Amino acid sequence: MTRTFAVLMLTAFALPAQADDVSDLMESALKAYEDGDIQYALDELDMARAKLLEMKTASLGSFLPDAPDGWTREVNTEMNQGLAMMGGGVGAEATYTDPGGERIKITLMADNPMVMSMSGMIANAAMMGMKTERIQRQKFAIQDRQMMALIANRILVQTDGDPDKTRPLLDMMDFNEMAQFGL
């Protein structure tokens, strides 16, 4: 039995590790660095970072709810380009359209300096003349057609649209799981 286990372990270690784009780019950067090609190493690291941000963005985007029956959902694939100009972080955004043509936009932003600046406004929403409401134990500040909440003090959930039609979309989101994003 131990001999069979040893053979299986040796066979497993002999198999090449499955590489992905990020690890390939990082290995290429390390090789370029060792070869003295600093610029190429930097370029490869930049590409690896971009791939990692894509992965993190996709992960954040998974918290956006699916469109309810009869609705459509359009995901904004260029959300992160705008965040780069606002200090970085990652974001995800989708616009939902109901059968009557009413549009609701849900935006998620994480680890962005602007998010922290919003925390004071959300915490003091009532003193600023905004209504507040709890959705899944999260405090949302409501003003006109916009709703905002801060999840785990680092993820901004912002909506634009009729709050009565927005609430069911927010109820579909898992804010507890979102609080663990990127940790």
Percentages helix, strand, coil for the chain (3-state, rounded to 5) are 45, 25, 30
CATH of domain 62-178: 3.40.1000
For residue 76, what is the enclosing H or E element? none
The token duo for 72 is 């459509």
Q: What is the longest distance spanned by two Cα atoms in the chain? A: 74
Average pLDDT in the chain: 81
pLDDT in tens, 128-172: 778 889 999 898 989 889 999 999 888 999 999 999 999 999 999
Listed residue (137, 163, 162) closest to 150, CA to CA: 137
Listed residue (105, 98, 79, 121) closest to 158, CA to CA: 105
Asked if residue 12 has pLDDT above 50, the reply is no
Asked if residue 1 has pLDDT above 90, the reply is no
User: pLDDT class for 87, splitting at 50, 70, 90?
Assistant: low
Domain boundaries, the chain: 17-57, 62-178
pLDDT in tens, 23-33: 999 999 999 99
Residue 101, pLDDT score: 94
Based on the number of CB atoms within 10 Å of its own CB, is 20 exposed (0-12), middle (13-18) or buried (19 or more)? Answer: exposed
In sequence order, the 6+-apart residues with CB closer than 8 A to the CB of 165 are 98, 102, 104
pTM of the model: 0.74
Asked if residue 6 has pLDDT above 80, the reply is no
